[in-house]
Structure formats: structure tokens, C-alpha cells
């Protein structure tokens, strides 16, 4: 019985990012960068003084539940036709 160990994967090049916003809060520089992860979606990374703080990945599954007839504008205003939220 022979056990073969796979060759190590080549290092991944750093993903290109798009700066969404940046501001200074006291002595901390806060940045939000969007990174395209291909088929896995878009990742929003929050950095404090150039160091990773937190991130969230917005998956491509959004496309399967998105209703193209309403458009993105109505989704940003609460998802109703008039742009107002319905009372609970």
C-alpha cells in the first residue's frame, strides 16, 4: 500500500478590492473594502488601522430569491411598491 501526498497548492494572489468608504474615528482609521470572491459572492471587509476586524460574505444565492420585476430601487426602500414599510 502506497500513500501519496498531494503537491501543495500554489499561493493565491491577493484578491483585488474596491474601497467602499474610509474615515478616521479618534486615532483609528476605519476602512470598508469589497472583495469579489467569484462564485462565492462579494465579501465586505472592515479594517481598523489596516488590520482585519470583521467581514461578511454576500453570497450569490441572493440572485435566486431576487424578483427582477421590482428592481433594486424598491428593495432599498423597504421592498414595497410605494417605498413605505407596511405596519406590523
The pLDDT tens digits of the residues spanning 18-46 come to 899 999 999 999 999 999 888 888 899 99
* DSSP bridge partners of 23: 30
Residue 56 placed within a domain: yes
Residue 24 placed within a domain: yes
Residue 87 placed within a domain: no
Residue 75 placed within a domain: no
Q: Number of folded domains in the chain? A: 1
SS3 content of the chain, % helix, strand, coil (to 5): 15, 40, 50
Residue 22 placed within a domain: yes
Residue 76 placed within a domain: no
Of 45, 55, 40, nearest in space to 20 by CA: 45
Residue 68 placed within a domain: no
In this prediction, residue 86 carries a pLDDT of 53
In this prediction, residue 29 carries a pLDDT of 96
C-alpha angle 13-16-19 in degrees, rounded to nearest 5? 150
pTM: 0.51
In this prediction, residue 30 carries a pLDDT of 95
Amino acid at each position: 500500500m502506497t500513500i501519496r501526498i498531494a503537491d501543495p497548492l500554489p499561493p493565491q494572489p491577493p484578491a483585488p478590492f474596491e474601497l467602499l468608504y474610509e474615515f478616521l474615528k479618534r486615532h483609528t482609521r476605519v476602512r470598508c473594502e469589497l472583495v469579489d470572491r467569484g462564485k462565492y459572492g462579494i465579501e465586505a471587509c472592515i479594517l481598523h488601522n489596516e488590520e482585519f476586524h470583521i467581514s461578511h460574505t454576500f453570497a450569490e444565492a441572493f440572485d435566486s430569491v431576487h424578483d427582477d420585476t421590482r428592481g433594486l430601487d424598491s428593495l432599498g426602500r423597504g421592498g414595497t411598491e410605494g417605498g413605505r414599510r407596511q405596519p406590523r
